[in-house]
């Protein structure tokens, strides 16, 4: 009788230790970035790691420096090192579907971070209302300048956000184009989110047309290049320019009157939401934020799309510089 009782106690002890170990086991997150050409990605990286660690996760992080194959190889290394979940900023929205397939062969879920991975069985998409980002830009500039010649410099087509932004811009501009109030005199996608590309495209636009009233640049890096080209033609400050990301240089240009506005996508909010979702997915717990779904060419992907906001000269201090954004939008308790 006594040895039996001992056996039972011993068994219970083992079970409770195993249970404790399972509970204590930290979630391993693989965070795959594209590049650091925009200053925001440093913030994304740092805030994501900090938040995930605060939530009890361990983060493996790597940047592919715009190399599609490198990103795939980095994903494989993370999976081989025991990643429980991958969070991916795809170098290329189409090619990254191979990362999703690979992760699934390890039974590991994938979250698409900021940029949507296309045509695959993606598990989750955490981003912003990217069509709205384009609408905010076009709406702001066209209210300031409802009649005139417009230039559109869009991001690279390899980033799905470029298409969303263009969609949003055209939704606002099309009725004004049809009315004959706005004429698009130059319209191009770029190869990379680069200042140099913004500069070169603006140079070409200035060659094509000698009267330009507004330039819709899809992000601040492109805007920075476009402003340099405008400066060389002594036009900086007299042509409206949009941007995205609220980068430091953009804030300076807005203060100086060279850039009209930028769209701020709160990094804290996306980093927090992605870390939280990654940990929940890895633990097979339900994701509690308000959900949406988005079509990625193969399926309706569960998504959390956060709001972004216009930053102009009048509200810089209240938005980007001050904190409290998360609480204001009920993203944290």
Binding site for ligand GAL (CB under 6 A): 38, 40, 114-115, 159, 161, 193, 219, 244-245, 265
Tokens describing residue 155 = 């991001």
Shortest distance (Å) from residue 193 CB to ligand GAL: 4
Residue 235 is given by DSSP the state -
Q: How far apart are CA 186 and CA 206, in angstroms?
A: 9
Closest of 159, 311, 192 to residue 246, by C-alpha: 311
CB nearer ligand GAL, residue 85 or residue 222: 222
Shortest distance (Å) from residue 103 CB to ligand GAL: 21
Shortest distance (Å) from residue 194 CB to ligand GAL: 9
CB nearer ligand GAL, residue 78 or residue 116: 116
Range list of H helices, 36-185 = 40-54, 68-80, 97-105, 130-144, 160-178
Shortest distance (Å) from residue 239 CB to ligand GAL: 22
Shortest distance (Å) from residue 157 CB to ligand GAL: 12
Shortest distance (Å) from residue 331 CB to ligand GAL: 18
Decide if 85 contacts 282 (C-beta within 8 A).
yes
CB nearer ligand GAL, residue 40 or residue 45: 40
Shortest distance (Å) from residue 164 CB to ligand GAL: 8
Q: How far apart are CA 35 and CA 126, in angstroms?
A: 18
CB nearer ligand GAL, residue 125 or residue 193: 193
CB nearer ligand GAL, residue 84 or residue 245: 245
Tokens describing residue 235 = 């036009």
CB nearer ligand GAL, residue 38 or residue 224: 38
Q: How far apart are CA 60 and CA 207, in angstroms?
A: 47
CB nearer ligand GAL, residue 103 or residue 267: 267
Question: Beta 292-295 vs 300-306: how paired, if at all?
Answer: antiparallel
Q: Which helix (H) or strand (E) is 331 found in, with range?
A: none
Tokens describing residue 330 = 């009920």
CB nearer ligand GAL, residue 91 or residue 182: 91
Q: What are phi and psi of 239, to 5 degrees?
A: -115, 135
CA distances, 236 to each of 156, 231, 264 (Å): 24, 5, 22
Q: How far apart are CA 4 and CA 71, in angstroms?
A: 56
Closest of 132, 86, 125 to residue 289, by C-alpha: 125
Q: How many residues does the chain have?
A: 333
Report the SS3 class of residue 254. Answer: helix
Shortest distance (Å) from residue 69 CB to ligand GAL: 19
Q: How many CA atoms lie within 13 A of 128 on its CB side?
A: 26
Shortest distance (Å) from residue 250 CB to ligand GAL: 11
CB nearer ligand GAL, residue 160 or residue 213: 160
Report the SS3 class of residue 182. Answer: strand
């Amino acid at each position: 009788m006594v040895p039996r009782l001992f056996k039972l106690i011993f068994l219970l002890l083992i079970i409770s230790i195993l249970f404790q170990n399972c509970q204590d086991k930290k979630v391993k997150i693989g965070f795959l970035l594209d590049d650091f050409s925009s200053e925001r990605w440093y913030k994304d990286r740092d805030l994501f790691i900090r938040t995930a660690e605060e939530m009890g996760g361990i983060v493996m992080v790597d940047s592919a420096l715009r190399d599609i194959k490198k990103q795939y190889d980095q994903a494989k290394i993370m999976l081989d090192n025991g990643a429980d979940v991958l969070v991916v900023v795809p170098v290329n929205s189409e090619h990254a579907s191979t990362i999703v397939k690979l992760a699934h062969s390890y039974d590991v879920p994938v979250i698409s971070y900021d940029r949507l991975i296309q045509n695959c069985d993606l598990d989750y998409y955490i981003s912003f209302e990217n069509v709205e980002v384009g609408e905010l830009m076009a709406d702001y500039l066209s209210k300031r300048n409802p009649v005139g010649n417009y230039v559109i410099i869009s991001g690279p087509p390899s980033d799905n956000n470029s298409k969303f932004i263009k969609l949003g811009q055209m939704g606002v501009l099309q009725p004004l184009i049809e009315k004959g109030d706005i004429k698009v005199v130059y319209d191009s996608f770029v190869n990379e989110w680069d200042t140099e590309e913004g500069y070169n495209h603006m140079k070409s636009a200035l060659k094509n047309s000698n009267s330009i009233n507004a330039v819709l640049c899809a992000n601040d890096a492109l805007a920075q290049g476009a402003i340099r080209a405008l400066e060389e033609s002594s036009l900086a400050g007299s042509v409206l320019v949009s941007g995205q990301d609220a980068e430091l240089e953009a804030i300076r240009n807005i203060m100086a009157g060279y850039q009209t506005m930028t769209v701020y996508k709160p990094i804290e909010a996306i980093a927090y939401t992605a870390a939280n979702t990654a940990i929940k997915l890895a633990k097979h717990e339900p994701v509690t934020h308000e959900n949406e779904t988005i079509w990625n060419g193969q399926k309706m992907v569960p998504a959390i799309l956060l709001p972004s906001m216009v930053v102009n000269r009048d509200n810089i201090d209240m938005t980007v510089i001050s904190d409290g954004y998360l609480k204001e939008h009920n993203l944290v308790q």
